[in-house]
A and B are shown apart, each in its own frame.
Chain A
Amino acid sequence: MKKLLEISLGVVTSVGGFLETGSIATSAQAGAAYGFSLIWAVILGTGCLIFLVEMSGRFAIASHHTIADGIRDRFGSNFFILAFVVISVVNLMVLAAEIGGVTLALQFLTGWSFQWWAVPVAFAAWLLLWRGTFGTIEKGVSSLGLIALSFVVAMFVMGPPWREVARGAIPSLPAKDGWHYAFIAVSILGATISNYLFFFYSSGAIEEKWDKSYFGVNKITAAFGMAFGGALSVAIIVLAAVVYSSHGIDDIEGYEQIAMILTPALGRWGIYIFSFSLLITCFGAALELSLAQAYITAQGFGWNWSEDAKPKTDPAFTLVYTAVIAIAVIPITAGLDPLKVTIFSMAITAISLPLGVIPFLFLMNDKALVGDHTNGWIGNAVVLFIIGLAFALAIVTVPLQIWGG
Chain B
Amino acid sequence: MIAQARMEGVVPTMFSGPALQRCNAEISSLAVDLKNAQLSVAQRTALSDLPGLLVEAEEASSRKDGPQTERVILALRRTRGSLDPAGKIP
Residues of A at under 8 Å CB distance from B? Answer: 107-111, 113, 247-251, 253-254, 256-257, 259-260, 263, 267-268, 270-271
A257→B1 contact, CB < 8 A = yes
Residues of A within 8 A of B15 (CB): 108-109, 111, 256, 259, 271
Please tell me if B32 contacts chain A, counting CB pairs below 8 Å. no
CB atoms of B10 and A263 under 8 A apart = yes
Contact A253 B26 (CB under 8 A): yes
Rounded to whole angstroms, the CA-CA distance of A267 and B8 in the bound complex is: 10
- Complex Cα distance A259/B5, Å? 12
Q: 21 A-B residue contacts at CB 8 Å?
A: A109-B15, A110-B14, A111-B13, A111-B14, A247-B1, A249-B1, A249-B90, A251-B90, A254-B19, A254-B23, A256-B2, A256-B15, A256-B18, A256-B23, A257-B2, A260-B2, A260-B11, A263-B5, A267-B10, A268-B9, A268-B11
Determine the distance from Cα of A110 to Cα of B12 in the docked complex, in whole angstroms. 10
Q: How far is the CB of B85 from chain A (nearest CB, A)?
A: 16
B24 to chain A, nearest CB (A): 12
Are B22 and A270 interface neighbours, CB within 8 A?
Answer: no
Assess the B18–A107 pair: CB atoms within 8 A.
yes
Q: How far is the CA of A261 from the CA of B54 in the complex (A)?
A: 22
Residue from A113, A250, A260, A268 in contact with B18 in the complex, judged by beta carbons closer than 8 Å: A113
CA distance A113 to B11 in the complex (A): 17
Q: Is B51 an interface residue (CB 8 A)?
A: no
A260:B90 contact, CB within 8 angstroms: no
* Bound complex: CA A268 to CA B12 (Å): 8
Chain A's closest residue to B80 (CB) is A248
**Chain B residues near A107 (CB-CB < 8 A):** 18
Q: Give chain B residues whose Cβ lies under 8 Å from the Cβ of A260.
A: 1-2, 5, 11
Q: Which residues from chain A contact B26 at a C-beta distance below 8 Å?
A: 253-254
Which B residue sits closest to A245, measured CB to CB?
Answer: B90
Residues of A within 8 A of B11 (CB): 260, 263, 268, 271
Q: Which B residues are in CB contact (< 8 Å) with A109?
A: 14-15
| Distance in Å: Cβ of A180 to nearest Cβ of chain B | 14
| In the complex, chain B residues whose CB is within 8 Å of the CB of A249 | 1, 90
Cα(A245)–Cα(B15), bound, Å:
22
B75 shortest CB reach to chain A, Å: 17
**Residue among A247, A248, A254, A256 with the most chain B CB within 10 A?**
A256
Please report which residues of chain B, range 1-58, place their CB below 8 angstroms from some CB of chain A when the two chains form the complex.
1-2, 5, 9-15, 17-19, 22-23, 26
What residues of chain B lie closer than 8 Å to A271, measured between beta carbons? 10-12, 15
Instruction: Report how far A247 CA is from B73 CA in the complex, Å.
Output: 13
Query: Which of B9, B10, B19 makes the CB contact (< 8 A) with A256?
Result: B19
Known pairs A249-B90, A260-B1; A270 contacts B10 (CB<8 A):
yes
